[in-house]
Amino acid sequence: MKTFIRFSLFIFISLFTTSIYAKKIVTEVVDYKWQNKVYKGFIAKPQKVTKATPAILVVHEWWGQTDYPRRRASQLAEMGYIAMAVDMYGNGAIADHPQTAGEFTKKVMSDSKNVLGIFNAALSTLRKVKGVDANKIAAIGYCFGGSVVQEIAKQGVDLKGVVSFHGGLVTPTSVRKGQVKAQMLILNGKSDSMVSQESIDSFKKQMSAAGVKYEFINYENALHGFTNSEATAKGKKFNIPIAYNKKADIQSWQKLTSFLQRIFK
């Protein structure tokens, strides 16, 4: 009972302080290109940007750039950052079935150069947004997007940090010593059947051997997709092991918040 009360109080304080300090924001959709294909970026930023501001790329789940990554980008803007929800599929494509999502994902992740090219096109677009501090940029990703930000970190993209929420740990590029510039934060659901213990052990071993500065956190009773409030309904609809976990969602967002504050000092 005491644990429940403490957690409820934590939620109340988090929501209360967020509502007090939330900034008014503006949003817009911008186009960027990679290999003659058009991609749709969603930019959210404070209404008034008076100084060079840290920026964050938000990479979507395997469903595509739905409202979910856009909401996360808007949340970050309310916190004072400039954020851009990335489109990794092109033309704002959204999958309405796991089979389609899997096909989209495979097409992108099968070629590490393709992943890097699309991401860098988005990064270049974000850098040009008025008010962005080009020396303070990070990337976060969910599910498929979590794998993407890990992959681009392994490829040596110059970012302050990357954060993976329930992302797969196996990506096309093997980590090499001295290659990763970004600090890495991996937020994983302990009950995520899509992330094996073997892949976790291998990930940690490789990161440590390469001297990467990283932190790995497991959230108890959290399945794949634990940050998305729509995950439970989709899991039931398509009979796939994904579900929302409110406690893990709140705790992982708080972890992200402190991580961003630290890397952007």
Q: What pLDDT sits at residue 180?
A: 98
Q: What pLDDT sits at residue 22?
A: 76
Q: What pLDDT sits at residue 1?
A: 54
Q: What pLDDT sits at residue 13?
A: 46
Q: What pLDDT sits at residue 253?
A: 99
Q: What pLDDT sits at residue 23?
A: 84
Q: What pLDDT sits at residue 152?
A: 98
Please give the Cα distance from 11 to 180 (Å, whole number): 35
Q: What pLDDT sits at residue 6?
A: 52
Q: Which residues of the chain have pLDDT under 70?
A: 1-21
User: In this structure, are strands 25-34 and 37-46 parallel, antiparallel, or unpaired?
Assistant: antiparallel
Report the CATH architecture of 25-263. 3-Layer(aba) Sandwich (3.40)
Is residue 83 a contact partner of residue 44, using CB atoms and an 8 Å limit? yes
Q: How far is CA 135 from CA 40, 74, 184, in A?
A: 24, 21, 17
pLDDT tens digits, 167-199: 999 999 999 999 999 999 999 999 999 999 999
AA letter at 220: E
Q: Greatest CA span in the chain, whole angstroms?
A: 58
pLDDT tens digits, 121-162: 999 999 999 999 999 999 999 999 999 999 999 999 999 999
